[in-house]
Structure 1
C-alpha cells in the first residue's frame, strides 16, 4: 500500500472538479504566467493538465506553489484618503415640518381634525425650505394638498348638513 500524498489526504482531493473549478485554476495559472512566476513551457504544460483534471486534488497540485490572490503585506504604507471631490455629497436632511404635514394630511380621513395642522405645517415647511438646505418640498406639497382637500370636504359636509336641516325645517 502506498503512502498518500498531502493533497490526497483530505476528502475533497478525490471530489470531481467542475468546469468552473478548472477555469479558476486556469485563471491562477494565467496570472502566474503574466507575473513571471511560470515560464512558457511550464505554463503550457500546466494549462493542458488543468483542462484534463478530473478531481480537486489534481487541480490543487497544479496551483499549490502559486499565490492565489493578493499577497499579504504587499500593500504596505498609509492609505491616502479619497479627495472630497470624488465622494458623493452627504444626504440632505428632510424637513420635519414637511414630514409632519404629510402625516397629518394622510390622517385626515381617519381623524377629520388633522386637516388644519396639515395646512399650517405645510406652509411652515415651505417657508423653511426656501432658506434651508433640506429636502421635503414634495412632502410639504402633498401635506398641503391633502389638508386643503380635507378642509374643503369638511366645509362641503357642513354646508350639506345645513342645507338638509333648512329643507327639513321649512314647511
Structure 2
C-alpha cells in the first residue's frame, strides 16, 4: 500500500517558527508598563518585526502588541517623570516660602 503525499514538487505547508524577540517584546512591554523596562520592549518589537519580515516567522501580532505597549510605557514614564519634576519643584518652592515666613 502506498501513501499519497500530494503532487510532486508542491510546497509543504508546515508551521512557521515563532520569533523569540516578538515574545520577549510583548512580555517586557507588559511587565514594564510605565517604567524603563517597557522601552526595551518597544525596541525589541521593532527588531522582531524586521526579523519576521525577512525570516518569514510568525509572531507579528505579539511584536505589534509589544510596540503598542512599549509606546504606552514610554509616554507613561515621561508623564511620571514630568510629574515628579514639577511636583517636586512645587514642593521645594512651598518649603522655601514656609522658611521665609517662619525665620
> What range describes the TM-score normalised by the shorter chain of this pair?
0.7 to 0.9
Q: Does 1:83 align with 2:6?
A: yes
- 1:160 maps to what in 2? 83
Displacement of 1:164: 0.9
Higher RCO structure (Cα 8 Å, ≥6 apart): 2
Structure 1 unaligned regions, length at least 5: 1-77
CA RMSD, aligned part only? 2.3
**Normalised by the size of structure 1, how large is the TM-score?**
0.49
Displacement of 1:165: 1.3
1:123-142 alignment to 2 at 5 Å? 123-142=46-65
- 2:43 maps to what in 1? 120
Displacement of 1:124: 0.6
**Normalised by the size of structure 2, how large is the TM-score?**
0.77
- Greater fraction helix: 2
- 2:72 maps to what in 1? 149
Count of aligned pairs between the two proteins = 93
Q: Does 1:97 align with 2:21?
A: yes
- After superposing on structure 2, the runs of 4+ consecutive aligned residues of structure 1 that deviate more than 6 Å are 85-88
SS of 2:13 mapped into structure 1: coil
